[in-house]
Structures are given as C-alpha cells and as structure tokens.
Chains A and B, each alone.
Chain A
Amino acid sequence: MGGRLLAVLLCLATVGLVVIGTLWPVPAAAAYAGGGAFTSSSSTPEEAVTSFANDLSHLAWQKAYSSLSNRGEFTEQDFVRDITGTYPSLRSYATLDNFQVRPLHASDNEAQVELRLRWSTVVGTFLDTRTLRVINSGDHWAPVWPIVKEPRVPPQVIPVTYLRWDVIYRGPEDDWGAQDVDAPHVRIVDMHPVERAAGVVVLGELLNEDVVPAYVSVKATLLGKNGSMIASGDSFDKISHLLLPKQVTPFLITFPNVSLSQVDSIHMDPTSNLVAASADPVIEIQNQKLSPAPDSYFTGSLVNQSGQNVSIAHVLGTFYDKSGQLVWVADQYTDRALLPQTPVAFSIPVPEDLARTISTERAVVATYSAGGFQ
C-alpha cells in the first residue's frame, strides 16, 4: 500500500516538474534548447552584452547588429566580416563555443565590459577578447562594438617567380626493376623526452636534408625495461608537415598517463614522402618576443611577403635553454587570413616553469590556402 502511494506521489511530482520547466524554463535551458537567449534583457550593461553574445552564438547577425549603439558607423556586412573574416580563414569555419562577460567599470550613463568569445574550430579553440563600451540609452543599455576592419588588398597583379616542384612517379605498368623517385632524406637532428604533469612529452627537430620538398611525420614508440611497448604516437599537428629543402621543423609527441621512469628507450620513426610543393608563400615572422614568467607568452607578427592570400597559418615555436637544449615546443593557428604585406599577430602561451629556463626561441610557419594544401 505504502509503495503504491510512493509511486503515485513520484509520478505526480515528475509531471509537476515537467509542467513547471516547460512554462517557466531557466534561461540557460531555453537557450540550449534553441528557444532563445539566456537573457534578452538589456536593463544592465552585463545583460546587454550577454544578450548580444547570445545572438552571436545563434548566428543571429541582424539581431546582434541591431542591438549595437554604434551601428551607424559600419554596415551589417562589415560587422559580419569582422566576426567571420573577410577572406576564408579559421574564423570562417568557427562556431562560438562559449563566452564570458566581465564588467570593468560602470557609471550611470556608460560602462565598460570585457567580452571573451571562445570560438571552436577543427584545430582547437581561439579566443577573441573585445572591450565594449556600453551606453545607457534611457530604457536600455546598448553595446558599442569596437569594429576591426580587416584591411583590403587593392586589386593588382603580383608576379611570383618562386619554385614549384612537381613529381612524376613510376607508372603501374612499369617493370618492377624500373627506376622510381626516392623519398626525401630527412633526419632527426635533436630529440629528447621530458616529463610533464600530463605525461611524457617527446620533443625534437627534424631536418629535410634533401633538395626536394618532403611531407614529413614523426612517430615515437616508448619501450619499457623489458623491451615491451608502452605506448606509440605521432606528432599529428605538432609539426610542420611540409618541409622544403634544408628546412627544419620542431615536433612534439605527447604520451598521456606515462611516467618517464617507466621508459627505457624510445624508438623514433621519421617518415617522408616526396610531394609536389611550392616555395611560395614566404612568411616573415617579425617582432618575436617572449614575455617573462609568470603569464609568459611567445608573441610576434606574421607578414606574408607573397601575393597569395594565406587562409590559415600555423605557428610553431621552438624554445631552447642557455645551453641550446630544446626545452619546449608550442603552437598556435592564426584565426585571420594573412594578406600580402599585412601583419597578423600571434600569441602562444608558454608554461610558466619552462619560461624561466628559456634563453632563445625560434618560430616556423606552416601555411594553408583555401583551395588546397600548399
């Protein structure tokens, strides 16, 4: 009898909660259900910016644009270009993962709010931080969007005479003894493992010592004291895969949940394939600096010295101690396209404990252009 009563009570309670949740949902649930923003109120500066950010996450460009106080200063198209990029880039394919709103200061008529937009892409996330003025318009607050207009390159013809390598391989009908083109010779010029909180990290540098371009990858296998394999992994995107003749790339391979004390030896397996490639574009890395610990960042700016737009640039930083020993490799993808002769900044975080030991650093850039692997 008691059990039946309890069952009935539980059913009634469940139905009641469902009805309450449907009629008066919490804003977050409504937003995740696609039914609207966390808040659409603009009665405070934070609410106005939160509402604006929600519109961005729903790709409601028109709504977001119309909520801006300074929309007369730029068109909706300019606004969308600022968010998604004028030229194909990482931004073009990004979705807003989450955002944070942090009030900086406020008065009766005006406030300043920091908006941290974390965008999600196939190669990880990137952060876009904007400081917004928010203006009291009487009955509501409206943000002022600090528009960043991407420079436009004027139409022109830029002659480029860099080399391009094409490859003709042996055909399937050729005799087995017929000659083929050999894979490029590559060599690991530096390698050593380090122990980090996450596990063992194998760092190193790979040189293309041939006269042809190489598509490279590095695989490492950790062996235990009895010769058994502990783990195997490859550099994935922590490497510049395309190496032109005499070019050097760093690489980093992470083995989570492995302790260095378990490792007796490491078997390294660099692979290379001969690929068609172009020596263009050339990217200059200007103003490289390592800010001191704590909160250490490796910063600089990339300048595309060629005539071709670069959709995505991948910056790999290599860090050495005073004795020239490699101590860390870190990377970052740029979220904006590299236009000819137009600097684009990068900022790569460096672990604080390692930053104190770093004496010199070096950066290399791998580039990808819309329409194909370069």
Chain B
Amino acid sequence: MNVTRSFLIGVAISASSLPALAQSRKLDVPKSVVAGSAFSIETEGGGQGVLYVVGPSQVLKRDVQLGQPVAIAAGDLDNAGHYLAVLNSGSSTETGEFDVVPANQPATLSFLAKPSRLPVGLQNGITGAVYVFDAFQNLITAPTPVSFQLSIPSESVQSRTVESHLGAAWTEMNSGAKDGNARFVARAGDVSATRVIEQVPGDPCGLKMNAKKAGGQIDLETDPLRDCSGNAVTDGTIVTFTESWNGGQTTVDVPLKHGVAQAEVPAYNGARISVATGVVMGNEIRWTNQ
C-alpha cells in the first residue's frame, strides 16, 4: 500500500515538475476545502486524463473525462493540509494547489488535566489544557472558545472561558477547601471532556493524643485528625508515637483508622510520650504511674 502511494506521489511530482516535456497549465481548483466535504475540480479540453491529488498522508488517483468536472466525494479528503492536484492528459499537464482546512465544528477534545490529586486550598494548583479536533482528528487551528468548569461538591463552581490559539487552550484553577472528587469539565461547542481531580486533605492541624492506662501498658489514642480546613485526614496516614524514658525509647508507626491512630506502649513511670505525623508535631505527655 505504501509502495503504491509512494509511486503515485512520485509520478505526480514528476509530472508537475517536468514542464519542458509537457505543456503545463493551471488547474482550476478551489482555494480551500473543508476536511471531509465534497467538492469538484473543473477540467477543460477533451479525451482521457488522470488526476492525482497529493497531500499529507493522503493520495487520490482518478481517471477523468476531460471537459467534465471531477467529483471528490464527501470523506475522500479528510486530512487537513496543503494539497497538490495534477491532471495528466498525455502531452499536457495541469496543476493546481489548494488547502484542506479543518471543520470549524469541534468533534473531540484531548483534555490534559494535572494533577490527578492535590491538597485542598492550593492557588492555581490545577491546570487544564485542551486540544480541539474536528471529526477527522484535524487540529482546529481557528480560534475556538473553550470553557473550563471545576465543580467541587458543596462549593461554588469555578468557570473560565478561553479562546484557543492554534488549536490549544489552557487555564489554571484553585483547589477548593473541601476534600473529595472535583469534576473538571472542558467544553467546546457541543463536545465536552471530563476529568476527575481528587482533592485530598492537607497536613494535620492540631495533632493531639490522649493516654490512659491499660494493664501494664499505656493506651495512646489521637483525637480525630483534621487538616486546617476541617477535613478528616485520610485513613492510612502514618502517625508516630514515641515514648522515651531513662535512656530508653519505644516508637511505633501506626496508620490512621477511622480518623484516629491508636497504639499501646509499655508503661514506664516518668516516660515522655510524643506524637507526630510527617513533619507535624503533636502534643507531649509525661506519664506518671498511678
């Protein structure tokens, strides 16, 4: 298939570039054609000829009756770009150039939304970039209005409308104050694409633990962990309890479960017990055996 195409391209180019061997005239072709649409090319004279239409990744060959228009059916030429038409009729060659332009109606959007996950309360933390394509996957380079909408449950919707430049439009959005999945929608014309941005809690605020005796052990438990916006810190977050006494130390990394971290450590009189998660320190307790 590729060999045939290469051969045809070669023939067409050779035919158009050998004016000395044949009388070359200008072919009457439309200046531009919308991708995928039907159009015709007028021919003059009489007899038989062969029409070659050569463009980016697409070549057409038609046997034509000279003097009659050559019909190019809808969908025959669907790749946008600059095309060369060559009509070869024995001793004469006619050539013409035209552009196939993308349809103005967006059909698909490639929507790149970053990141897929971010903490709440981040200014311009979310970026969305859209590439607008027509039904034949041609990038629509004409300015096209693209609207972006970020909707977060129980919060107001953020909206922006941006005009695409050379087929691309992009914007930035803030993450909201509440955790949860935000729907990030880009829309151009009648088409839209949706991405989900996971808004996760920030660092814990006011990490506090309580201690009580449980047999020969100390039962440690944090208050429900929340970030500074009041969101519950994600389960699985590691909380580190450290007990220090008289040169000795016990540590345990515990994942949050149902919002709290719980651990048991040996009960040493006078022990200092601290709690931390990541780089956030919590309160400290000095343990006295009753």
Q: Which residue of B lies closest to A209 (CB)?
A: B278
A286 B266 Cβ-Cβ under 8 A: yes
User: Which one of B54-62, B140-148, B231-239 is at the A interface?
Assistant: B231-239
Measured CA separation A364–B276 after assembly (Å)? 14
CB of A97, distance to nearest CB on chain B (Å): 32
Given contacts A161-B257, A177-B110, A177-B131, contact A286 B238 (CB under 8 A): no
Q: Assuming A177-B131, A288-B250, is B255 touching A162 (CB within 8 A)?
A: yes
Please report the C-alpha to C-alpha distance between residue A213 and residue B236 in the assembled complex, in whole angstroms: 9
Given contacts A246-B237, A282-B253, A282-B255, contact A289 B117 (CB under 8 A): no
Which of chain A's residues 290-308 have a Cβ closer than 8 Å to chain B?
300, 305
Whether A211 contacts B254 by the Cβ 8 Å rule is: no
Given contacts A177-B110, A177-B112, A211-B200, contact A244 B278 (CB under 8 A): no
Q: Interface majority SS on A: helix, strand, loop or mixed? A: loop
Q: Is the CB of B249 within 8 A of A361?
A: yes
Interface pair B254/A282, CB less than 8 Å apart:
yes
- Produce 1/0 per residue, B218-236, CB < 8 A to A: 0000000000000000111
The number of chain B residues with a CB under 8 A from chain A is: 40
Is B5 interfacial (CB 8 A cutoff)? no
B257→A211 contact, CB < 8 A: no
Residues 136-177 of A, flagged 1 when their CB comes within 8 A of B and 0 if not, give 000000000000000000000000011101000000000111
Smallest CB–CB gap between A71 and chain B, Å?
38
Interface assignment of A248: CB less than 8 Å from any CB of chain B: yes
Partner of B235, one of A163, A189, A247, A286: A163
Instruction: Give A91 Cβ to nearest chain B Cβ, in Å.
Output: 26
Minimum C-beta distance from B219 to chain A (A): 13
Interface bracket on A: 35 or more
Instruction: Check: A323 CB closer than 8 A to any chain B CB.
Output: no
Q: Is B201 an interface residue (CB 8 A)?
A: yes
Closest to B245 in A: A287
CA A212 to CA B115, docked complex, whole Å: 14
Which B residues are CB-close (under 8 A) to A177?
109-112, 131, 193
Verify B110–A211 contact, CB threshold 8 A: no
Q: Establish whether residues B251 and A362, one from each chain, have CB atoms under 8 Å apart when the complex forms.
A: yes
Question: Chain A 98-132, CB within 8 Å of chain B: the 1/0 string?
Answer: 00000000000000000000000000000000000
* Docked-complex contact B236 and A285, CB < 8 angstroms: no
In the assembled complex, B105 has its CB within 8 A of some CB on chain A: no
The docked-state distance in angstroms from the alpha carbon of A105 to that of B195 is 77
Q: CA–CA, A246 to B248, complex, Å?
A: 25
The interface stretch among A179-187, A256-264, A326-334 is: A179-187
> Is B116 engaged at the interface, CB distance under 8 Å to the other chain?
yes
Q: Does A17 make an interface contact (CB < 8 A)?
A: no
Give per-residue flags for A203-214: 1 if the beta carbon is below 8 A from chain B beta carbons, else 0.
000010111110
| A207-B279, A285-B252, A288-B251 given; A244·B236 CB < 8 A | yes
Structural contact, B252 and A163, CB atoms closer than 8 A: no
- Assess the B247–A289 pair: CB atoms within 8 A: yes
Chain A nearest CB, measured from B171 CB (Å): 15
Contacts A209-B278, A284-B265 given; indicate if A182 touches B116 (C-beta within 8 A).
yes
Contact A279 B255 (CB under 8 A): yes
Would you call A180 and B248 a contact (CB within 8 A)?
no
Cβ of B114: which chain A residues have Cβ within 8 Å of it?
182
Asked if A175 and B110 make an inter-chain contact with CB atoms under 8 angstroms apart, the answer reads yes
Distance A287 CA – B248 CA, assembled complex (angstroms): 5
Q: Contacts of A220 on B, CB cut-off 8 Å?
A: none
A-B contact pairs, 9 of them (CB 8 A): A162-B236, A163-B255, A175-B110, A177-B111, A179-B112, A179-B195, A207-B279, A285-B251, A305-B263
* B residues apposed to A, CB below 8 Å: 109-117, 131, 193, 195-196, 200-201, 203, 234-239, 242, 247-255, 257, 263-266, 277-279
Given known contacts A244-B255, A282-B253, A284-B263, what 18 new A-B pairs fall within 8 Å (CB)? A162-B257, A163-B235, A175-B110, A177-B131, A180-B116, A211-B236, A211-B237, A212-B117, A244-B238, A244-B253, A245-B236, A245-B237, A282-B254, A282-B255, A286-B250, A287-B249, A305-B263, A362-B242
